[in-house]
Amino acid sequence: MMIKIKKEQVVEMLDTPFVKVYDLQYERNHHYYDVTRRSKDELLAIQSDEEMKQMHPDAVSCVVILQRPNLEPLLCVMKEYRYPIGRVCLICSLRPCRKKGCK
C-alpha cells in the first residue's frame, strides 16, 4: 500500500534561509520529517507522479532515531561524501556503531 501525504498533513517546524523542516504525519503517531530547501508547495511527498517527473533533484538527509523498549532513544549518525553527479542518486547505508555503549 502506497502512503499518500496531503498538503493538509504537512506542518512546518523550522524555516531558515538555508533549510526548512516539515513534519509529515501520515498516520496516527507515525511521522516523516522532511529537511529540504523546498517550500511547502514544492515538497516531493505531496506531488503527483507527473509533477515529480518535472522536478529537479534536492539534497536529502535521513535522520534515524531508534526507539527501543525500556532504553533511551539512539540517534544513528553517518558521515559520507559523494561526488556531485548531476542526477538523482539513491543510497541507504547503515553501519554498526563501534563505540563503547552502543548495542
Please write the tens of the pLDDT for every residue from 62-72: 667 788 889 88
- Condensed to tens digits (0 to 9), the pLDDT of residues 11-30 reads 999 998 888 899 988 888 88
- Strand pairing partners for 101? none
Which grid cell is 68? 527501543
Closest CA to 28 of 47, 45, 3, 1: 3
- The Cα-based distances of 3 to 17, 77, 99 in angstroms read 30, 26, 36
The domain ranges of the chain are: 1-103
Q: Is the pLDDT of residue 92 over 70?
A: no
Please, are residues 81 and 91 in contact by the beta-carbon 8 Å criterion? no
Global pTM reads 0.55
